[in-house]
Amino acid sequence: MAVVGERCRIGAAARVEGAVLWERVAVGARSTLRDCVVGADVHIGADVDIGPGVILESGAVIPDHTRLTAERG
> pLDDT of the chain along its 73 residues, tens only?
999 999 999 999 999 999 999 999 999 999 999 999 999 999 999 999 999 999 999 999 999 999 999 987 6
Q: Is residue 52 part of a domain?
A: yes
Q: Is residue 58 part of a domain?
A: yes
Range of the domain at 8: 3-68
CATH number assigned to the domain comprising residue 7: 2.160.10.10
Q: Is residue 47 part of a domain?
A: yes
Distance CA 13, CA 73 (A): 33
Total structural domains in the chain? 1
pTM of the model: 0.95
Q: Is residue 61 part of a domain?
A: yes
Q: Is residue 64 part of a domain?
A: yes
Q: Is residue 73 part of a domain?
A: no
